[in-house]
Amino acid sequence: MSGSRRDQRDLIEEPCLDYKCSPWTASSQRAADLYSSGVKLWRKEDLIDIEQQLAKACDVEKFTLRRLDGSIVHIKNPMFGVLKPIWEPVVKFQEFWYLVQSTPDGPPETYHCTYLVDWVNRTVRDYEGPLGTTRLVFESSRDRWNASLTCEAFTTQLRKLLLRADGAVKRVTKIVCFGLGDLNIKPKDWWRIQNDEMPPDQRMPEAGLINAALIHHALALTIADIVRSCADPGSPGVRILSQDPNYVDQTKDLLLETGIEVVGASGAGGFAEVDDESVVLSALAQAPVQQIIADLARPVAIVYAGNTSGRVFNQHSKPIGDPASPRTNQMWKEYNTWDFPVISESIQAEGSLHRFVVYTRREE
C-alpha cells in the first residue's frame, strides 16, 4: 500500500517555480553569448546614425536604436516640437559589463542597447555664458607648452614611434581626440566663495579651471605637427578632430580657428572617425573609449589617460570610468606601451599628463 501511495505522489506534477528567471538573467546570458561569438557592441554606422538623429532632436518624435542582437528599439523624444529646449541630448553608452554583470537602468527592452539617449540641462551654462578670456589664455598656454621640456621629450619620443623598423614613416591621416575639456568652464558658486575667502596672494584666477583642457588641446596640436613633419612629401594633409559634448559654441569657434574640427556634438560621431590610419588622444572622455576603439579599429597610436590599471569595479560593484574588458585586453596585446615623458612639474599638474600612457601598434 505504501508503495502505491508513493507512485501516486510521483505522478502529481508540482508547479515549476519561476525563481531567478528574470529578464535580466536571460538578457545578460544572451549578451555574453553574442559577445563571445564576436558580435560587436558598436558599429560605425550606428554611431553615425544616432549622431544624426540627435542633431534633429526637436524634429523627431522618437529615436531609433539598434540593439546588440540586431533588433530595433524605439524610445520617445521628450523634446519633440519644443522651440527652445533647455535639455540637450547626449549619447549614453552601456559597455560590456553593464550588459553582462551590472543590471542596466531602464526597462528590459533596453538591456541589449549599447547606447542610449540621455539628457543634460543647459540652463545654468547658458545663463552664465562663456568665460570670455579663453582666447588670450589659450595662446599663452600653448606657447608655454611648446617651450616646455615635456613637449620636447614627447616630440622626440613620438617621432621615433612613428618610424617603422625599415625606416619608413607610418601613415597617419587624422588625429582623433576625445574629452579634451571645454575651454569656457566657469567656476561653481561654492568655488568662488572658497576662493574669495583665501588670502589675496593665494586666490586662483577663474581661468585656472581650464588649465588641463588648455594643455590637452596644445598636445593635440603638437601631435599633428609631429605627424606632418614626419610625413613623406606629397602625403595628404593631417586632420585634427575633437569630440567633447561639453564644448560650448565659443570653444568650437576658437578650435576651428586653430585648425581643430569639432565632431560628434552628442558624443558618438567622433568614434566613427577612428580608423587604422589615425592617432587617438583621449583625456577626460565620459565614454568607454578603449572598448569602443577595440570594436572599430587599430589606430597607429593611442595617447590615453583613461583607466590603465585594469580595474573594472568600484566599491559598489559598478563599472568605473572606462573599464577594461576581454576585448580590450586582447587589443592591448597588439600594442607596445610607453610612459608619457613628463618632465615639467607645472605642466604635469595642469594637464594630468602623469596619467597618460602612449600605445603604438606593433608591426606585423
The lowest-confidence range among 128-132, 278-282, 301-305 is 128-132
Using one digit for the tens of pLDDT, what is the confidence trace for 69-107?
A: 999 999 999 999 999 999 999 999 999 999 999 877 789
User: In which residue are the cell numbers 581626440 written?
Assistant: 177
Q: What residues contact 150, with CB distance under 8 A and at least 6 apart?
A: 341, 342, 343, 344, 347, 348, 353
Q: What 8-state DSSP symbol labels residue 61?
A: S
Q: Extract the C-alpha cell encoding 345.
A: 612639474
Using one digit for the tens of pLDDT, what is the confidence trace for 40-55?
A: 999 999 999 999 999 9
pTM for the full predicted model? 0.90
Using one digit for the tens of pLDDT, what is the confidence trace for 267-288?
A: 999 999 999 999 999 998 889 9
- Of 302, 361, 356, the closest CA to residue 336 belongs to 361
Number of neighbours of residue 203 by Cβ within 10 angstroms = 13
Q: Which amino acid is at 273?
A: E
pLDDT of residue 3: 58
Predicted confidence band of residue 347 (pLDDT cuts 50, 70, 90): confident
Distance CA(196)–CA(203), nearest Å, equals 7
Q: Extract the C-alpha cell encoding 332.
A: 592591448
Distance CA(221)–CA(198), nearest Å, equals 36
pLDDT of residue 268: 97
Percent of the chain at pLDDT > 70 equals: 92
Percent of the chain at pLDDT > 90 equals: 65
Q: What 8-state DSSP symbol labels residue 148?
A: S
pLDDT of residue 362: 92
Distance CA(203)–CA(189), nearest Å, equals 15
- Domains annotated for the chain, with CATH where assigned, are 23-125 (no CATH), 129-361 (3.40.50)
pLDDT of residue 202: 65
**Coil, helix or strand at residue 136:** helix
Give the residue, 8 or 77, on which the prediction is more confident: 77
Half-sphere CA count of 310, side-chain side, radius 13 A: 4
**Coil, helix or strand at residue 119:** strand
Question: What mean pLDDT is predicted for residues 330-358?
Answer: 87
pLDDT of residue 343: 85
Angle at 63 between CA 59 and CA 68, to 5 degrees: 160
Assign 3-class secondary structure to 250-288. HHHHHHHHCCEEECCCCCCHHHHHCCCCEEEEECCCCCC
> How far, CA to CA in Å, does 311 sit from each of 47, 98, 307, 314, 323?
26, 15, 7, 8, 7
Using one digit for the tens of pLDDT, what is the confidence trace for 143-169?
A: 999 999 999 999 999 999 998 888 888
Q: What is the pLDDT of the chain when averaged over all its residues?
A: 88
